[in-house]
Amino acid sequence: MSADTGPLVVVGGGLAGAKAVEAARAAGFGGEVVLVGAEPHLPYERPPLSKDYLMGKAPFEDAVVHDEGWYAAHQVDLRRGVTVTALDLERHEVRIGAESLRYERLLLATGAVPRRLAMADSSGAPVAYLRSVDDSDRLRAALRPEARIVVVGGGWIGLEVAAAARNAGAQVTVVEPLELPLLRVLGPEVARIFAALHRSQGVDLRLATSMEGVAAAGAGAAVRLGDGSTLEADLVVVGIGVVPDTALASEAGLEVDNGIVVDEHLRTSHPDVFAAGDVASAWHPLLRQRVRVEHWDNAVEQGTAAGRNLAGESVAYDRMPYFFTDQYDLGMEYVGHVGAQGYDAVVVRGEPSAGSDPFTAFWLREGRVLAGMQANDWDATDAIRALVGRSVDVPSLQDTSVPLSELADGA
């Protein structure tokens, strides 16, 4: 694409969209660029919403991708607080209210929306979800000493909210239908470490049970569980995952299957339309399967790759999935993808406890490292990245006297 062709339109004012317009300009694209976001805020990163921002440790400005002046300086037409209501693939137009906006190439970075729990929404009880900065503001106001918080869902968001609530002095109960929190992500070998961590911080984990009903009780809620018990709460926080926001793509006739289907160049079933971030179900050339990743790193890197491709380059996205979490004094980074076939071995190096002792863990199948993580062992991340996707000598990996860096160099 020549520097004077355009316009480029990016639908979605989140992290992926902001990184895409940044990358398009950095790649030398000189035509018109429009970024459309439904929220009234400047594009921002979402991880702080369940971590430092939620706990009042960092201002919103720290989460903003670019200040307002950046968009003006780079001639990006940033439209905030407006919604794209329709996409016409044949006419190369998106509709914003009564206005039709033409594009040469389009990026859909529409993200995801919280999975709703109908019984909670219709109960009349105080219920919260966490996806936007406004959600985080409302939730933070409720996290006060001795407040009774029931968190439904023991995934990343649920556990991070639980940690923030305990940091605020609230009483916290987490309700999770599986036998351990994070069980589907980490497996029992590592999931039990996170269960021990939260119990050590005073969280009441109600595992292998589900919420069967919720009703308003005065200003609060009465939560009935499948084991027959009832919890009294000042607030019920629902964190049961998200669903990709594919409505615009689906109505336009783009291929959708657990997200907007894209190839390794992030191109959809229409050659002039791309998708990136939480909404993209992307073919991964190394994993040889489609993956949809709902984490910060994917929004940054996939948004950047999509922006370069919008500008006329041909970048294949093959970065291994990565995510991180901060809970109490434990910080963790995870690289890789276990996939539907699962693993046949887990190697844990170090002595994990309910505290902040560092350790690493690896998930393997037939001697090949599918994924690895470090907790409070920040020097290990580069070695973990090098080992993921490689076959290793398992006894050496199990031997903590053999440095990870040495294994990585020999992989």
Q: What one-character-per-residue DSSP string does 91-156 give?
A: TTEEEETTEEEE-SEEEE---EEEPP-HHHHTS-S-EE--SSHHHHHHHHHH--TT-EEEEE--SH
**Kind plus residue range of the DSSP H or E element containing 88:** strand 86-88
Q: What is the pLDDT of residue 178?
A: 98
Q: What is the pLDDT of residue 2?
A: 40
* 241 phi and psi angles, rounded to 5 deg: 100, 180
Residue 12 has pLDDT above 70, yes or no: yes
d(CA 125, CA 49): 23
Homologous superfamily of 8-113+243-310: FAD/NAD(P)-binding domain (3.50.50.60)
Please list the residue range(s) of the chain that carry CATH number 3.50.50.60. 8-113+243-310, 116-240
Q: What is the pLDDT of residue 409?
A: 87
SS3 294: coil
Looking at every residue in the chain, the average pLDDT score rounds to: 96
* Averaged pLDDT, 381-406: 95
**pLDDT per residue as tens digits for the range 85-118:** 999 999 999 999 899 999 999 999 999 999 999 9
SS3 75: coil
Options 3.50.50.60, 3.90.700.10, 3.40.50.300, 3.40.50.2000; CATH of 116-240: 3.50.50.60
d(CA 128, CA 118): 12
CA contacts within 13 A on the Cβ side of 62? 11
Tell which residue, 235, 174, 233, 232, has the closest CA to residue 201: 174
Cβ–Cβ < 8 Å for 311, 145: no
pLDDT more than 70, % of the chain:
98
Q: What is the pLDDT of residue 354?
A: 67
* Averaged pLDDT, 270-293: 97
d(CA 326, CA 53): 12
- CA angle at residue 271 from 269 to 273, to 5 degrees? 80
**pLDDT per residue as tens digits for the range 16-56:** 999 999 999 999 999 999 999 999 999 999 999 999 999 99
Name the band, by pLDDT with cuts 50, 70 and 90, for residue 404.
very high
Cis preceding linkage at 321, omega within 30: no
Q: What is the pLDDT of residue 229?
A: 97
Write down how long the chain is.
Answer: 411
**pLDDT per residue as tens digits for the range 212-248:** 999 999 999 999 999 999 999 999 999 999 999 999 9
Name the band, by pLDDT with cuts 50, 70 and 90, for residue 1.
very low
**pLDDT per residue as tens digits for the range 130-188:** 999 999 999 999 999 999 999 999 999 999 999 999 999 999 999 999 999 999 999 99
Token output for 223: 């939560």
**pLDDT per residue as tens digits for the range 321-339:** 999 999 999 999 999 999 8
Name the band, by pLDDT with cuts 50, 70 and 90, for residue 357.
confident
Q: What is the pLDDT of residue 353?
A: 77
User: Running DSSP on this structure, what letter comes out for residue 208?
Assistant: S
* Averaged pLDDT, 367-387: 96
Q: Whole-prediction pTM value?
A: 0.95
CATH 3.20.20.70 is right for the domain spanning 329-410? no
Please, what is the end-to-end C-alpha distance for the chain in angstroms? 40
Q: What is the pLDDT of residue 163?
A: 98
| Sign of torsion over alpha carbons 299, 305, 309, 310 | positive
User: Running DSSP on this structure, what letter comes out for residue 38?
Assistant: S
d(CA 200, CA 194): 10
d(CA 187, CA 343): 9
Name the band, by pLDDT with cuts 50, 70 and 90, for residue 351.
confident
Burial profile 167-201: b = 16 or more Cβ within 10 angstroms, e = fewer: bbebbbbbbbbbebbbbeebbebbbbbbbebbeeb
* Averaged pLDDT, 362-382: 96
User: Running DSSP on this structure, what letter comes out for residue 204?
Assistant: E
Q: What is the pLDDT of residue 3?
A: 46
What DSSP assignment string belongs to 326-369?
Answer: EETTEEEEEEE---TT--SEEEEEE---SSS--EEEEEEETTEE
Please list the residue range(s) of the chain that carry CATH number 3.30.390.30. 329-410
d(CA 125, CA 11): 34
- CA angle at residue 332 from 327 to 333, to 5 degrees? 145
